[in-house]
Amino acid sequence: MMKLILTSLFTLVVFFNVLAQKLDCGLSDATAVMIKQRLMQNRMLYTKQQVHDLMSNRTITYIPVSFHSVSNSSGQGAATEKEIFAFLCGLNALYIDQDIQFFIYNQIHFRVSDAIDDDASSNASSQTMDNWSIPGTMNITIGRSLSNQWASWYSWSDYIFLLKTMMTPQAKTEAHEVGHFFGLPHTFYGWEGESAESDYGGSNAPSLINGHPVEKVSRTSGANCTTAGDGFCGTEADYFSSRTACPYIVTVKDPVGASLDPDETNIMSYASDACISTFSYDQKAAIAVDVAQRTWVSNTPNGTTDLSLTSPSAISPLNNTQFGPISNPTLRLDWTGGAPWYYLEVYGTIIPNVWVPDVSDVIYRGYHYNGNSFYDLPTSNLQAGKFYVWRVTPISNYSTCASPSPYNKFEAVSSATSLKELPLEKQMSLQINSNPVTSSYISLSVYTAEDLVGTLRIYSSDGREVLSLSNEMLLQGESSVQLPASNLVNGVYLVVLTTERGLLKQKVIVQR
């Protein structure tokens, strides 16, 4: 259906598209008209009851997105995978209340085009982006457009161009252009390129602007909101087509003298990014209709789990251990799986005994799209006796918001050393979290390099055992343990942890 609509509109807009002047968001006059026409045509496809049912009975629809990241022939200018993942995370956050989520179709396409890198609005650039478009997906091209950095825009050829400098993790500009893709006009439709306050401040606006009926404020007697402006009665009349801080200071009135109160939070307005955050109900309904009548190549991402709720754990090397021998050409980093993709980072350290990561000392950094939860790390950049850290971020083509795992630490060695042969301080540690203790419990942090069973005892200063907890399961990594202390009088005590690996002690003061 979308192809039929676009084809029927093509003859109406192609001539004007050649002559059209691009506006602040990059939307041409002809494309703005096409979007409004598509909105009106979409309305004829569904009754009000069908739209209501569509809104009330929907589940999450996953929209495939084909990303085209553009560099020049020298390899400069492309948006990185990390930047695209951050933007996609922000975009999904803005659309989740509509049960719409976006995912990367196949993988990110890294393209080369000197034309787009120089001027994305040129005819040659437009043709190239059109040729790249993958049917049945939302196509987003990201580039620098160095000699013409005026905006991002939606094209009547049904793709989006995003200016790289406008791409942010908050994805406000991106959400605006995606709104155009789904058939939403600007809230100030008809006023593009005009200055309402400069031309009509303190007086009534005309009934027509650029040949379009001017939307009235009234939603009752004499209302024209279903056809004028953006065509939505659920969005307030808006005449402001330049970036505006909020709240607006409005003196222009509508054609019959009513005061304007435009919605500065509306994503399809030109309020500043700090102001915009939402779509109106009518806009959401129009998006739902447009999504439903399009044909998508796939609605199935490679995973729908929210990976921000998970964190991979190290399997090998275990945290705070030795790793080798580096005489081998590679050493395998291994972690708990569950994600389709991963981002792996390995760095040197600044202060070895404190394990401070030195992110400028990159040993390895890269994305893994094969689903493997391991990587054979080349040892050519490792030095025996030096300390390194590594961490993993889980990713899917839909869930791109996860934080990296905590850093895991290892010392590169020239020969392999078993865990049992390591010094006790590298196998386990015991720390009192708050000392002196002023509450009814003693909070401990216990680290073990492997799963162990231990016994915790507390001794008073005269050597009496005042508490014993046997067969405590201590899982590999950091564990929090709370020992009851309500029966302990003020004084100095000794906390002792005993395992098959050895014995650790910490002095604690109870002072309440």
Domain annotation for the chain: domains and CATH numbers: 2-181 (3.40.390), 185-278 (no CATH), 307-417 (2.60.40.10), 424-510 (2.60.40.1930)
Q: pLDDT-based confidence at 29, cuts 50/70/90?
A: confident
Taking the alpha carbons at both ends of the chain, their separation in whole angstroms is 74
Average pLDDT over residues 192-198: 91
Query: What is the signed CA dihedral for 299, 304, 307, 312, rounded to 10 degrees?
Result: -110
- Tell me: pLDDT of 13 over 50: no
Exposed e or buried b per residue across 131-161, where buried means at least 16 C-beta atoms within 10 angstroms of its C-beta: ebbbeebbbbbbbbbeebeebbbbbbebbbb
Using alpha carbons only, give the angle 362, 363, 365 rounded to the nearest 5 degrees.
70
Query: What is the signed CA dihedral for 259, 263, 269, 271, rounded to 10 degrees?
Result: 100
Q: Give the Cα separation of 311 and 404 in Å (integer).
A: 7
Average pLDDT over residues 63-71: 98
Cβ atoms 163, 152 nearer than 8 A: yes
Lowest mean pLDDT among 101-110, 346-355, 364-373, 499-508: 346-355
- Helices 29-43 and 281-293: angle between axes, nearest 10 degrees: 80
What pLDDT, on a 0 to 100 scale, did the predictor assign at position 146?
Answer: 97
Lateral strand order in the sheet of 314-316: 314-316, 330-335, 374-378
What pLDDT, on a 0 to 100 scale, did the predictor assign at position 419?
Answer: 63
What pLDDT, on a 0 to 100 scale, did the predictor assign at position 479?
Answer: 81
Cβ atoms 331, 315 nearer than 8 A: no
Average pLDDT over residues 315-322: 88
Average pLDDT over residues 325-334: 94
What pLDDT, on a 0 to 100 scale, did the predictor assign at position 8?
Answer: 41
Average pLDDT over residues 68-73: 98
Better-scored residue on pLDDT, 110 or 1:
110
| Backbone region of residue 146 per phi and psi (left: phi > 0; alpha: psi in -120 to 50; beta: other values) | alpha
- Tell me: pLDDT of 19 over 90: no
Better-scored residue on pLDDT, 445 or 77:
77
Nearest alpha-carbon partner for 430 in 381, 498, 367? 498
Query: What is the signed CA dihedral for 25, 29, 32, 37, rounded to 10 degrees?
Result: 180
Share of the chain above pLDDT 70, in %: 93
Query: Which residues are CB-contacts of 337 (< 8 A; sequence separation ≥ 6)?
Result: 312, 371, 373
Kindly state the DSSP code that residue 147 receives in the 8-state scheme.
Answer: T
Query: Which residues are CB-contacts of 125 (< 8 A; sequence separation ≥ 6)?
Result: 113, 115, 116, 119, 145
Q: pLDDT-based confidence at 353, cuts 50/70/90?
A: low
Average pLDDT over residues 8-13: 37
Lowest mean pLDDT among 213-222, 328-337, 398-407, 502-511: 502-511
Average pLDDT over residues 24-32: 79
Cβ atoms 103, 132 nearer than 8 A: no
Secondary structure of 241-269 as H, E, C letters: CCCECCCCCCCCECCCCCECCCCCCECCC
pLDDT digits (tens, 9 = 90+) for 380-431: 999 998 999 999 999 999 999 999 999 999 999 987 556 666 677 777 888 8
What pLDDT, on a 0 to 100 scale, did the predictor assign at position 319?
Answer: 87
Q: Give the Cα separation of 154 and 183 in Å (integer).
A: 10
In angstroms, the Cα distances linking 211 to 14, 29, 278 are 19, 12, 29
Mean pLDDT of the residues in the chain: 89
Q: pLDDT-based confidence at 24, cuts 50/70/90?
A: low
Average pLDDT over residues 87-98: 96
Average pLDDT over residues 466-471: 89
Q: Tokens 């049960």 map to which residue?
A: 99
What pLDDT, on a 0 to 100 scale, did the predictor assign at position 18?
Answer: 30
pLDDT digits (tens, 9 = 90+) for 199-243: 999 999 999 999 999 999 999 989 999 999 999 999 999 999 887
Evaluated on CA atoms 500, 503, 504, 508, the torsion sign reads positive
Instruction: Note the pTM of the prediction, 2 decimals.
Output: 0.77
- Tell me: pLDDT of 22 over 90: no
pLDDT digits (tens, 9 = 90+) for 136-151: 999 999 999 999 987 8
- Tell me: pLDDT of 133 over 90: yes
Residues pairing with 320 in the sheet: none
Q: Give the Cα separation of 398 and 173 in Å (integer).
A: 20
What pLDDT, on a 0 to 100 scale, did the predictor assign at position 23?
Answer: 41
Q: Give the Cα separation of 144 and 131 in Å (integer).
A: 19
Q: Give the Cα separation of 50 and 65 in Å (integer).
A: 27
Residue 459, both tokens? 């001794």
Secondary structure of 170-217 as H, E, C letters: CCHHHHHHHHHHCCCCCCCCCCCCCEHHHHHCCCECCCEECCEECCCC
Q: pLDDT-based confidence at 10, cuts 50/70/90?
A: very low
What pLDDT, on a 0 to 100 scale, did the predictor assign at position 12?
Answer: 37
Q: pLDDT-based confidence at 368, cuts 50/70/90?
A: very high
Lowest mean pLDDT among 24-28, 36-40, 102-106, 429-433: 24-28
pLDDT digits (tens, 9 = 90+) for 241-285: 887 788 888 999 999 999 999 999 999 999 998 999 999 999 999
